[in-house]
Structure 1
């Protein structure tokens, strides 16, 4: 019997469109002999939809809502149940769910998905899912929490400061002074909870720093200001696994004429319909063997520290002047699921999907071995009165 695999993408996030591309790539890659894979689209308004029309990119360019069905998710006996949510049916209409899924593959980028919200939903219902858990997903989304964990683990990172949006609005000059005292220009200013380089600006003076904080604060409440490097190369590497079973991919060096990889670099200049796959890159990264070995060592360590699952990509910066290597960030649901890094090792996209499903099922089985109830007499003894 085939595994019913729900591939979930879209959602209320700035990376909504990128998620659609990544989701359809995963859908096409899933082996039809093993899986009954189907798309589950979450709109920008947070509504869930199913239907064959969602398999085609043309739908998202000009949506025909009459060709798809709105559903609401629920858990049923360890499976994802997608119930018909059309108004004429009624919320509490009796009957079997319209769609059941054995395993969920979240291919969501950014907030309201990659940040652990969907992981938490699946955990609550006991549904196997292919991405990292609540811990790894949430820490991997929030750049400030991520930096704090990296520092605690002793990973090499660039100096940084965290800023609250309200604090910035109320104490602008004091914040600028604090940043300039702690960090030398150039600096990068980033929303703490966004990916795909959205809202990120480089600042080389006080006015640019002020402008960058204004831009970032329009996207998030928490802002990260990080020391920038003048001469550097970016190196990326992916990890795949669960618990202590972790393997790492080939390395890559994205190439661009910009000071850093912008959203346009990642998804528009590189033929956006192909997602991260089409970004100009060198695989493997043209670096010294000891640097490549260190990148892979740190990739495995970061993946383990966040207790990640499935596939994740860790991004590094290599200072070309000092030779220092810095851990930048982890992407717990990377664009295109980083399949191109695995294909460079001989692991095809379809086989990557197989491994992700395998780890999802293993993690779910492990979870079922834990105790979730405890017989207590507290309710019998209590009166309910303060």
Structure 2
């Protein structure tokens, strides 16, 4: 009898972080223990088509192998037709001579919109499938920086000053919003789309003209914009792992190659540095780890997240910046590297995340839904 755990890996997706997701998927597939797991890949194209590949017997060698050109009998369904397909995941399992078995747990490796914003998590919930990572609410709040900040404020976590508004408000109240930002946050300030990852669409504004241009840039990516106060600070990050009893890794520090940690500094120029562990005193390290767990609980997190902080250079004060519920997950990404420094290997991390997903799903099965 086959006792391997059957894991469905979902990657690609419609967001601007499609290629980052493919890099993550390749790294994860290379790290899994193929003696312990059966891996079924599911690729979502940039236009939202779902394609499934055969059960993997060994890790793929290159990203090109993950895209699966459509075959006559392959699934090539639009995303809005996927619920019945996901409900019947056992039908997607390859015919390899053994009895067809359902997927035991889904592992979404999707970054950004339509991946870590609660949408695919809702699909898995409707299909009653265990899945790795944050649930619907935590994923949605973790993606929407405005609501995230509201939850952090409710939890008493310190934050830099900020304002947020919608496209409608910008079009109707532009001058009033500009005046309010100038009076309350001053220059320079940072402007971000409220719902987007990987630092896409972020600008630093030093005057009114740059501020208006930055808002226009952010509105290309989302209907809601966040404007944040600038602080001269170090960027400290902590990895969190768990469900009801989350634990925090050692802190690390990002030393950006640019004026701030934008998409280019993250993924393109290769000059930003990660300092692990961060060179901060033990009291500060303990404080930031405690705040990371508090932030995780503030959004009702589960599975994993990376919590990002500012440490003001003038006095060492900590401010929560944001949490990322599906952080970069290659072996060279901050999240797994922080756990490696904390004594948890990349493979152990994958094992733990799958265990946490199954544990959370088991807890939900105890609920009475009135059926």
TM over 0.5: same fold?
yes
Number of the residue aligned with 2:18: 16
Q: Alpha-carbon deviation of 1:80?
A: 3.5
Number of the residue aligned with 1:188: 190
Which of 96, 100, 108 is the aligned partner of 1:106? 108
Number of the residue aligned with 2:176: 174
Deviation per CA, 1:183-240: give whole Å up to 9, x if none.
Answer: 12111100000010000001111111011001000100010011011x2110000100
Q: 2:104 and 2:322 mapped to 1: Cα distance?
A: 31
Number of the residue aligned with 1:69: 74
Q: 1:233 and 1:283 mapped to 2: Cα distance?
A: 14
Contact 2:201 2:218 in 1 (8 A): yes
Deviation per CA, 1:69-98: give whole Å up to 9, x if none.
Answer: 3345446998734659xxxxxxxxxxxx98
Number of the residue aligned with 1:269: 269
Deviation per CA, 1:118-167: give whole Å up to 9, x if none.
Answer: 11111112111011101111100000000011011110111111111122
Which of 120, 123, 134 is the aligned partner of 1:121? 123
Number of the residue aligned with 1:357: 354
Is residue 2:247 matched to residue 1:238?
Answer: no
> Is the alpha carbon distance of 1:81 and 1:179 closer, same or farther for their aligned partners in structure 2, counting shifts above 3 Å?
farther
Q: 2:72 and 2:19 mapped to 1: Cα distance?
A: 20
Q: Matches of residues 17-32 of structure 1 in structure 2 within 5 Å?
A: 17-32=19-34
Q: Alpha-carbon deviation of 1:171?
A: 3.0
Is residue 2:365 matched to residue 1:372?
Answer: no
Q: 1:364 and 1:101 mapped to 2: Cα distance?
A: 13
Q: 1:98 and 1:227 mapped to 2: Cα distance?
A: 55
> Is the alpha carbon distance of 1:112 and 1:201 closer, same or farther for their aligned partners in structure 2, counting shifts above 3 Å?
same
Q: 1:144 and 1:60 mapped to 2: Cα distance?
A: 38
Q: 1:208 and 1:67 mapped to 2: Cα distance?
A: 52
**Over the residues paired in the alignment, what is the CA RMSD in angstroms?**
2.6
Q: 2:151 and 2:19 mapped to 1: Cα distance?
A: 30
Is residue 2:298 matched to residue 1:288?
Answer: no
Q: 2:29 and 2:73 mapped to 1: Cα distance?
A: 17
Contact 2:91 2:100 in 1 (8 A): yes
Number of the residue aligned with 2:96: none
Which of 334, 344, 347 is the aligned partner of 1:347? 344
Contact 1:5 1:105 in 2 (8 A): yes
Give TM-score, length-normalised by structure 1. Answer: 0.85
Give TM-score, length-normalised by structure 2. Answer: 0.89
Deviation per CA, 1:171-192: give whole Å up to 9, x if none.
Answer: 3222211211221211110000
